[in-house]
Amino acid sequence: MSISNSITTTQQNKKSTFSVYMASDAVKNKINQMMNGKDGGKFITSLISLVANNPDIAKCEHSTILASALLGESLKLSASPQLGQYYIVPYKDTNNERTVAQFQLGYKGYIQLAIRSGFYKKLNVLAIKEGELKNYNPLDETLEVSLIEDDTEREETPTIGYYAMFEYQNGFIKTLYWSKAKMEAHAKKYSQAYRRDLKKGTNWSFWSKDFDGMAFKTMLRQLISKWGLMSVDFQTAIQNDMAIINESGQPQYVDNSEYIEAKTVKTVEEDDEKEEKEEESTQTQVKDPFADFDE
């Protein structure tokens, strides 16, 4: 996913637009090389459209947008918010006075990569509602539930926990259950944005916008990364999830990622109070990536 220094230094500056950057010969040649000359034009058009529809992403350093998109393309995932497979999320690096794009794998992306690997016969993740859980034995991983049959009633019932499972083609089964309290503690530990939301009563982070959706992603990540078989693409996706892809193609982890805690990088949503007030009136927020998950 390397984007050469010559591209970033000669083609990008604060005044140039992303479409101008993408139209440069150096960028187009790089894309065609990485995509073996196939669908380069389609990739460029769709990426320009994505950025044009999100002013916050347009503020990002152009090379980081392209690097995230090329990573998604290499994994054969879509950046369309409607599909929810991966997202390009704006982050503000206050130490270096720049805004950069972060690659975030959606949990529909986890599902896609697991299915493609061919290892899994079954894969499921589910919110457990109040009154449904009868018993869970972590020793033999048996879960006894009585699901609410009425969909509307179930939707309105508070969530008390989360369940995920997979079954290999050879019959091996692994399950995982977390209480809502455990998931809440995980979110507070690993997301600076969520902690800021709780402190200030704001609703910027993905955890605040759709807690259940982020919990589904966490359950799949915990389950598959620790006990599942992963294809090369799956390993690449997990290693780069929640990261800024730098010019050499290496990930830089931010927002208390599960790999490394970075204290010098803030999300656009995490600026100081003064900047937050300005953003509230001018910022187009990033679409909630998990709003449509119902599969």
pLDDT band at 267 (very low <50, low <70, confident <90, very high): very low
Quick check: 148 pLDDT over 80?
yes
Residue in 77, 83, 79 with CA at minimum distance from that of residue 237: 77
Q: What is the pTM of this model?
A: 0.74
Query: Amino acid identity of 71?
Result: L
Cβ atoms of residues 269 and 191 within 8 Å? no
Q: Average pLDDT of 145-156?
A: 96
Strand, coil or helix: 137: strand
Q: What is the pLDDT of residue 254?
A: 60
pLDDT (mean) for 270-286: 37
Confidence band (pLDDT; 50, 70, 90) for 149? very high
Summary mean pLDDT of the chain: 81
Phi-psi region of 171 (alpha: psi -120 to 50; beta: other; left: phi over 0): left
Report the C-alpha gap between 191 and 213 in whole angstroms. 15
Structure-block tokens of residue 132: 């449904």
For 195-249, the pLDDT digits (tens) are: 999 999 999 888 998 899 899 999 999 999 999 999 999 999 998 988 888 766 7
* pLDDT at residue 144 in the model: 95
